[in-house]
Structure 1
């Protein structure tokens, strides 16, 4: 498939998303559950409530105090970011300069991320998720620069900017900012390519179990227990991590149900599995099987993916919320896939020369 066909595919998806957005606007359907946060954000922006949950409603009220807030206009801006800016950012992050396939991969990445249903859904109103994804992707550019930069001054320069991004993400969603910071600091110490995969998994699980035994995971698990009080259309999973014996079985179920999406409560969950989880399973399988072609940039993505994913897998017990939280996990692996794919072709091509 050449770049022209990818461009037309993107254009077709773009027009289809516009039509779907109009339909959702008038139907008001909540396809993925998890509540309509946008109603609360609007209420805070116009002063009907003073409960602060993140930096996003504070920003919206600030716009309102300046006299420039409009729910429809903000929603329109988020659509532009979700439909155009985010696909361009992902495509640029997937770009490998030495790859002969970089143009084709660029447009393929645009098409794939443009077809992400959950990202589309959160462009339909003033949700914070779209702006968080865009901000996080800008932070991933810092990961890429740090992975290739050799000069100490320039590495320090980018690291400071990374700290600023981590702080902003922390204000939007605490564990997202923490996971970004964790990868920023510790990814240089890890090599996805060099360290044996099974050994890495064993060490990680042993460390995680140790944290559980010493009660260090209690704040995250306490948050998870909140979901038992709020049933949302049967989408709560009932996984509690309530005993030492059940820790690993519960963790496995949480990964299978939430990360891989193998938990069906209706037609919408089946549709999300087919359009999001199934492609993710293919992507992560490819990344793991071809990790010998990984790069330092991919190391950052993998450390972030593991850290962020394990936090929300431990802290969340709702399928609808999982669909929203795992966007960052899925996009991390998507970018890693494209980088490894191109690096593999470069290495194999050089081997034939």
Structure 2
């Protein structure tokens, strides 16, 4: 890992910047080709964009989340455009989300240009998030709100002034409540993590907490607390077998092994079904795995904000790894896990550099 790090450090900033510019140009070309129906591309599975458009236009009156309500409100004020929102999402994906993720990790271009550019490149190259800019899916908007929430949480944890602390905490809670309206378990795990950041980690404590957490989940499943999630997961059995892992939690004794298999297949992307899955594994999962290992090896450096991200990662992943069995859906559910690790990785890199300077 050290040799990989030294190799990355030897790459000139100009080369990284050129890679970013080439990638952005490529995304612009692909986006325009798809929007003009020159090429067609799909990750498979159904699309909920059609529902959102129908609700926004008033053809459907049953809203499933606040994103549909927002679109209807835009339409009421003659501000709604399916194509226009897609273009806004593209701009968010290409420019705003990478810069927001960089700001959240605390990287400064002035003080560390290389990590700034690497973080920008990493966020820009994320293929699945780019895919969801092609229509009015709520995912890009949710990622945008989530990153704003994480940035505000960092402000809350880094301030020593009482009034500022209360202000940022209040904003964080409001963002968490808004996330609940977008996706309930995303918002709830965000809010719960907001109040658990004082839990300190060492390598030994990390092992202990992990085993304890697995035991808690096992008991919760055994007594039926997780029945809602496991029953929801069983609905995927009716889906195409090629897009599911085929795991069930009907046998309580197999809960932990099946949870591990679910994490390997869905979170790490190790269940390969087609060439697209191989590409996603290389571009998304490998950097995520590398960064996760680095975070664990340097867990002693984790500050309050890092602990918030780690706790959120565990809580959020637990919910959807138990409740979801669709591989396509997993790609969009894990956005927040991957981004949490990206941010935490670069944040700990910054903390490590500061610790070496002050040592």
- Tell me the TM-score range normalised by the shorter chain: over 0.9
CA deviation string 1:50-97 (max 9, x = no partner): 232211111111111111211111111111111110011011122256
Which structure 1 residue ranges, 4+ long, deviate > 6 Å from structure 2? none
Q: Find out whether 1:28 has 2:40 as its counterpart.
A: yes
Q: CA deviation at 1:114?
A: 0.5
Match of 1:46 among 35, 50, 57: 57
User: Structure 1 CA distance, aligned partners of 2:76 and 2:99?
Assistant: 32
Q: Find out whether 1:297 has 2:305 as its counterpart.
A: yes
Q: CA deviation at 1:29?
A: 2.3
Match of 2:144 among 122, 134, 138: 134
Which residue of structure 1 lines up, in the alignment, with residue 8 of structure 2? none
1:237–1:317: 8 Å Cα contact kept in structure 2? yes
| Aligned CA-pair RMSD | 1.8
> Which runs of structure 2 are paired with 1:213-292 in the superposition (5 Å)?
213-231=222-240, 234-292=242-300
Q: Find out whether 1:82 has 2:93 as its counterpart.
A: yes
1:241–1:247: 8 Å Cα contact kept in structure 2? yes
> Which runs of structure 2 are paired with 1:313-332 in the superposition (5 Å)?
313-332=321-340
User: Structure 2 CA distance, aligned partners of 1:101 and 1:51?
Assistant: 50
Which residue of structure 2 lines up, in the alignment, with residue 119 of structure 1? 129
User: Structure 1 CA distance, aligned partners of 2:164 and 2:111?
Assistant: 29
User: Structure 1 CA distance, aligned partners of 2:24 and 2:140?
Assistant: 16
Aligned length: 347
Gaps of 5+ in 1: none
Q: CA deviation at 1:100?
A: 8.3
Using structure 2 for the length normalisation, give the TM-score: 0.92
Of 335-344 and 325-334, the range deviating more from structure 2 = 335-344
Q: Find out whether 1:346 has 2:354 as its counterpart.
A: yes
> Which runs of structure 2 are paired with 1:64-103 in the superposition (5 Å)?
64-96=75-107, 102-103=112-113
1:95–1:102: 8 Å Cα contact kept in structure 2? no
User: Structure 2 CA distance, aligned partners of 1:210 and 1:30?
Assistant: 40
Using structure 1 for the length normalisation, give the TM-score: 0.93
Does 1 or 2 have the higher relative contact order (CA < 8 Å, sep 6+)? 1
